[in-house]
Amino acid sequence: MVRESANDADLLNVTVHQPGPSEVASSLSDMSKRKDPPRPVVVSVWAKAAGRCSMCGDPQLVSAIRDVTVTIGEIAHQAGATEGKKSPRGDADVSLPARDKEENLMLLCHECHRKIDSTSGQEVYTVEVLRGIKEQHEAMVAALTDFRTESRTLVVATRSTVRQQAVAATPREIAFALVENRRTPYALGNLTYNVTIDLTDPVSDEWVWQRGMKQIDAAIEGIEATLSAGRVDHLSVFALAPIPLLAYLGHKLGDKTTVDAFRRSRDHTDRAWCWGEETTGVPVFVHDLPDVGRESDSIVVALDVTASVKTERLPADLTDLPTVRLHPSNAAPGPDLLGSRRALDSFGRAWRRLLAQLENDFPEVNRLHVVAAVPAPAAVAIGRFHRPYADPAMVMYELGEDTRYQRALEIPA
């Protein structure tokens, strides 16, 4: 179970206050004056939380000695059970009768309950924050247990080095993205099964491309065995790596199996890999074909999505080749241009149209020199929608430390 809490930095600063004798006596007096919430309400809170702490996600049903299951969870109040300063968040603008209703109650473990009710915890865990935690936890439980629409997926992730730092999607980030996509990881027995591809070699290493391709080949071999066995028919890709390797990964995945490629946003929360909503409309992509004869056997393809490719940075042997440019017609290139699934689909359709027109207008072309300024899922799409035995070979380029594009790898025809 995954969950979202208050700001992580604030969480780390929360200390649990140890009450003195007078505070304990006062608290016990308050407790003796109040009644427990009605049993039907308590049962409903437990059920909607799936018997797990709404904050840390730990199960609150424990099998004890002699196979007896005991409950260790606690029903916690968002607005205090009683009014006044002695009750945690007791001064909240919630009527006293409403405080024992389901909307004001949540299931917590003992440690999380102490944390939110401590003196410092009350400053972080306001009624509004606790309500948000409860709502998100219950929404995720509802999504995960909606067996009518939930489908299995095989998670394919990468570990890579970007700007000299190791990057990878965390299990929590993946879980949030899958729940939103109404997917659950493929399980083998009691173990969750996924594929992680190690692409951590820095691009400055001369063997980085060949080694990366071998790592991808090995991973795909295992994935194909799983697919052919009929155990999985859907893949969820969480990949960050240099664009040439992502395109090669897409090429090896192909378009015969349904694949969802996720995008890492700049949101530093558990929802970092969740797709966003369109805020400025879906971008429309067009391409400009070079005005040259049909006899050329090589073409430069510049893909302007996150930025405009500067063709003056191309290797000298490419400068005289005809260039086709794919770019948005209704927006400027930018890092957030493909912020939604529909935007990614729009790019994918435009890329397929471009490949089809190149095949028709330039039949003699046998090699495309692809220079792409695109986000990770678009790089995967470049490889996925490249048709073996139909489209020309693709030579992929990477921007080097000298700010010039360098040949990285070739995806065969």
Domain ranges of the chain: 8-144, 151-261, 285-411
Q: Is 95 helix (H, G, I), strand (E, B) or coil?
A: coil
Strand partners, 63: 69
Count other Cβ atoms within 10 Å, centred on residue 403. 8
pLDDT reading at 32 higher than 60: no
Phi, psi angle pair for 169, to nearest 5°: -70, 135
pLDDT reading at 143 higher than 70: yes
CATH class held by domain 285-411: alpha beta
Per-residue pLDDT tens over the stretch 339-352: 999 999 999 999 99
Residue 36 is given by DSSP the state P
pLDDT reading at 149 higher than 60: no
pTM score over 0.75? no
Q: Are 151 and 183 in contact (CB under 8 A)?
A: yes
Please choose, from the candidates 361, 179, 333, 350, the residue with its C-alpha nearest in 3D space to the C-alpha of residue 271.
Answer: 179
pLDDT reading at 251 higher than 90: yes
Strand partners, 194: 155
For residues 307-330, average pLDDT: 93
For residues 276-280, average pLDDT: 71
Q: Do 151-261 and 285-411 agree at the fold level? A: yes
CATH code that applies to domain 151-261: 3.40.50
The structure tokens listed for 220 are: 């795909």
The C-alpha atoms of residue 77 and residue 211 are separated, in whole angstroms, by: 55
The CA radius of gyration of the chain, in Å to the nearest whole number, is 27
> Looking at residue 186, what is its pLDDT?
79
> Looking at residue 228, what is its pLDDT?
80
For residues 288-314, average pLDDT: 87
Per-residue pLDDT tens over the stretch 46-74: 999 999 999 999 999 876 666 677 888 99
- Pairing, β 367-373 against β 298-304: parallel
